[in-house]
Amino acid sequence: MTSRRSLLQAALAGTALLGDATPVRAQPARRPNILFMLADNLGYGELGVYGGGRTRGAATPRIDRLAAEGLRLTNMNMEAQCTPSRSAILTGRYAIRSGTHSVPFGGVADGLTQWEVTLAESLGAAGYASALFGKWHLGSEEGRFPTNQGFDEWYGIPRTTDEAMWPGMPGWSAAVMPPEQILEGRKGERTRPVRVYDLEQRRLMDAEIARRTVAFMEAQAHAGKPFFAYATLTQPHLPTLPHPEFAGRTGNGDWADMLAEMDANVGRMLDAVDRLGLRENTIVLFASDNGPEFVKPWDGWAGPWRGQYFTAWEGGIRVPCIVRWPERVPAGRVSDAIVHAVDLFPTLAKLAGASVPGDRPIDGVDQSPLLLGQAEASAREGILVFCAERLQAVKWRNYKVHFYRQDTMVSPAVKLGIPLLFNLYQNPREDEDKPSLDSWVVGPVLKLVAAFEASLKAHPLIPMGTPDPYKPPR
């Protein structure tokens, strides 16, 4: 039987075709560390540097300073839900290809098949130590935890934070529906439960994520090994409850207290990078996995954009994203070039001297010239916007075409007889009484769709719930 390691080596052999971009090849160089901090349901308009901060009840000085020290992207796009975005980040593939197009609700094998090659696996093959601390949401059974997908260690929750509310709900019984556990694991060992994830632990989780991330970076710095520290914060996902040390600190309620706590936790991790003497050789990323929370009273704010997560509106997919790498990424720069979650794998692989799989479609493109200030334009012109299994919209340059209308996460998705076309420069709110008449845009949009559909003939979609072992059809 072919081992997973040999399959990984075969997948990473050679180069991967990335649209019109240059193929990514491993480059011998001093390997940078990577600290990637991913917030959960943080809207575009929440941080001070994106128009929020004090207007949301709490200043965010550490994250704002991070933006001043690096590149702030204003057209960073994720997928519309938590699971798809996390899948896209780690695989460089639209989540619909991987059977991870929707948040799982149990009853099937959830998460990534072991056939998928993750960023952690690619970096591991290039000599990196990697760890994930926080929310996973890409598999909740042995065989599909982070340590089964390339990470050396992990601590956190397998699914989502609203499950912390279960133990206090009327009628709930652990015998009927077991509570979500906080889990911990190391590569080569079985993941083990640590404690029940309840409302008390919900308040403590992000501080523990920051603490463990700092400890991991310290250990790798002392070992002289490059690292990939993936701190997947649980805030501000509902229920948005701050750590006890921050409760009441702003005087503006739990949401503002949470924002102050998030900023402080980011600061703790950044301070550790500086204290360890790693600042110059560490790529720091801060982003959100999708648009803001919809459920009241924890709903968030997408700033100038319409909508929240689970929708194809700009507010559902356009997120804050900051990149810092001193002396490599020019400081104080702002770019509106279009970037997508799938671009992060090939981009970070290029910067780290790692490889991307060459045996499957990779939807991401190498955006390192954009990040390094060597190019002003994106390496892509457009993106596909999926909501669950539907191709709901397409962005091309400054235009957006919607094939379905869906106002909120609980609204039905209605297929449109005539697609809605918006010029996002002229109509950033995507107001339907101001559609664009530039119907010529449909041509390049449909070319993007056709290219994706053509790729499915040789590489069919992996159905959601597909068990391991998965082997692609010949």
> Do 96 and 197 fall within a single domain?
yes
Residue 258 in any domain: the answer is yes
> Do 84 and 127 fall within a single domain?
yes
Q: Which residue has the tokens 């109509």?
A: 427
> Do 258 and 133 fall within a single domain?
yes
pLDDT attached to residue 260: 98
Q: Which residue has the tokens 């949009």?
A: 445
| Residue 137 annotated among the catalytic residues of the structure | yes
Residue 464 in any domain: the answer is no
Q: Which residue has the tokens 């994520």?
A: 209
> Do 217 and 183 fall within a single domain?
yes
Rounded CA-CA distance 258/267 in Å is 14
The amino acid that residue 322 corresponds to is: I
Rounded CA-CA distance 107/140 in Å is 11
Return left, alpha or beta for 465; rule: phi > 0 is left, psi -120 to 50 is alpha, else beta: left
Q: Please state, in angstroms and as integers, the Cα–Cα distance from residue 301 to each residue in 66, 134, 407, following that order.
A: 21, 23, 15
> Do 297 and 391 fall within a single domain?
no
Residue 438 in any domain: the answer is yes
> Do 336 and 394 fall within a single domain?
no
CB 355 within 8 A of CB 10: no
| Bridge pairing between strands 129-135 and 153-157 | parallel
Rounded CA-CA distance 363/452 in Å is 9
Q: Residue 175 burial by CB count (10 A; 0-12/13-18/19+): exposed, middle or buried?
A: exposed
Q: Domain with 285 in it: what CATH number?
A: 3.40.720.10
β-sheet bridge partners, residue 323: 71, 285
Residue 11 in any domain: the answer is no
Whether residue 236 is preceded by a cis peptide bond, meaning omega within 30 degrees of 0, is yes
pLDDT attached to residue 474: 79
pLDDT attached to residue 25: 43
| Bridge pairing between strands 71-77 and 318-324 | antiparallel
Rounded CA-CA distance 385/402 in Å is 9
Report residue 214 as tokens: 């700092």
Q: Is 272 helix (H, G, I), strand (E, B) or coil?
A: helix
428 contacts: CB under 8 Å, gap ≥ 6: 304, 305, 314
Q: Which long-range contacts (CB under 8 A, 24 or more apart) does 246-255 make?
A: 247/203, 250/57, 250/58, 252/57, 252/58, 253/57, 255/56, 255/57, 255/298
> Do 336 and 437 fall within a single domain?
no
Residue 289 in any domain: the answer is yes
pLDDT digit of tens for each residue in the chain (474 aa)? 456 666 576 677 644 434 333 334 444 458 999 999 999 999 999 999 999 999 999 999 999 999 999 999 999 999 999 999 999 999 999 999 999 999 987 666 799 999 999 999 999 999 999 999 999 999 999 999 999 999 999 999 999 999 999 999 999 999 999 999 999 999 999 999 999 999 999 999 999 999 999 999 999 999 999 999 999 999 999 999 999 999 999 999 999 999 999 999 999 999 999 999 999 999 999 999 999 999 999 999 999 999 999 999 999 999 999 999 998 999 999 999 999 999 999 999 999 999 999 999 999 999 999 999 999 999 999 999 999 999 999 999 999 999 999 999 999 999 999 999 999 999 999 999 999 999 999 999 999 999 999 999 999 999 999 999 999 997
Q: Is 423 helix (H, G, I), strand (E, B) or coil?
A: strand
The total of structural domains in the chain comes to 2
CB 83 within 8 A of CB 55: no
Catalytic residue among 137, 243, 340, 402: 137
> Do 179 and 161 fall within a single domain?
yes
pLDDT attached to residue 5: 62
Residue 4 in any domain: the answer is no
Tell me the residue range of the domain where 288 lies: 31-380
> Do 221 and 362 fall within a single domain?
yes
> Do 78 and 45 fall within a single domain?
yes
Report residue 44 as tokens: 């575009």
Catalytic residue among 82, 321, 387, 402: 82
Rounded CA-CA distance 430/313 in Å is 8
CB 20 within 8 A of CB 346: no
Residue 188 in any domain: the answer is yes
> Do 268 and 387 fall within a single domain?
no
Residue 25 in any domain: the answer is no
> Do 128 and 212 fall within a single domain?
yes
pLDDT attached to residue 23: 39
pLDDT attached to residue 463: 96
Report residue 271 as tokens: 């301070």
| Residue 321 annotated among the catalytic residues of the structure | no
Which of the listed residues 380, 397, 423 is the one where a domain comes to its end?
380
Q: Domain with 443 in it: what CATH number?
A: 3.30.1120.10
pTM summary value: 0.94
